[in-house]
Amino acid sequence: MGLRHAVITSVDRDDLPDYGASGFVGVIRQIRRQAPNCKVEVLTPDFRGAEMPLAKVIAERPDVFNHNVEVVPRLYPIARRGSTWERSTRVLRNAKELAGDEVVTKSGLMVGLGESFEEMVDALGQLRDNHVQVLTVGQYLRPTERHLPIVRYWHPDEFVALERAAYELGFEHVAAGPLVRSSYHADRHVPQGRPGTGPLATG
């Protein structure tokens, strides 16, 4: 397929002892073996906060470790029932502490569920405090009537202001816009010349 950047993700595997970490490990190893110039990004669940599954994935040294916090802390009980903001941010912090400079850390949020601009900036500050380097922010779009309703659509200018605020907080790369999603231009989030990677190109 000639891929230069692969994003690996999964549904939650709370039914497995390692919460699915071995699946990520197997795919990373196969990509390294069959496409050694392909950069690898993993988008993982929070492994219920367990350190062993996270350590297994980080030991494979993906180029990018991504775990999306999705919403501001206040909305977690509504939008991310079964998880907590503290657990999600701890996963990101632990990933960076385990990998150091060898792995880029990344997270993403949605807007449109009732959060304020100030809440978003505060959430971004907390992500930076937990060593997150790359950020994506997009507009929430309601998949079905059974999902949470859209409270409001953010204006494109608000995304620009949020992107500016994120860079001021120290993020290394930010993608913010109505149609931005977690894997939006994912290949651009890894600096050229990182160990084990090839030239930047869209996969």
- Residue 12: band (very low, low, confident or very high) from pLDDT cuts 50, 70, 90: confident
Structural contact between residues 149 and 107, judged by C-beta atoms closer than 8 angstroms: no
- Residue 147: band (very low, low, confident or very high) from pLDDT cuts 50, 70, 90: very high
Pick the CATH number of 5-189 from 3.40.50.620, 3.10.100.10, 3.20.20.70, 3.30.2290.10: 3.20.20.70
49 backbone φψ class: left, alpha, beta (φ>0; ψ -120 to 50): left
pLDDT at 13: 86
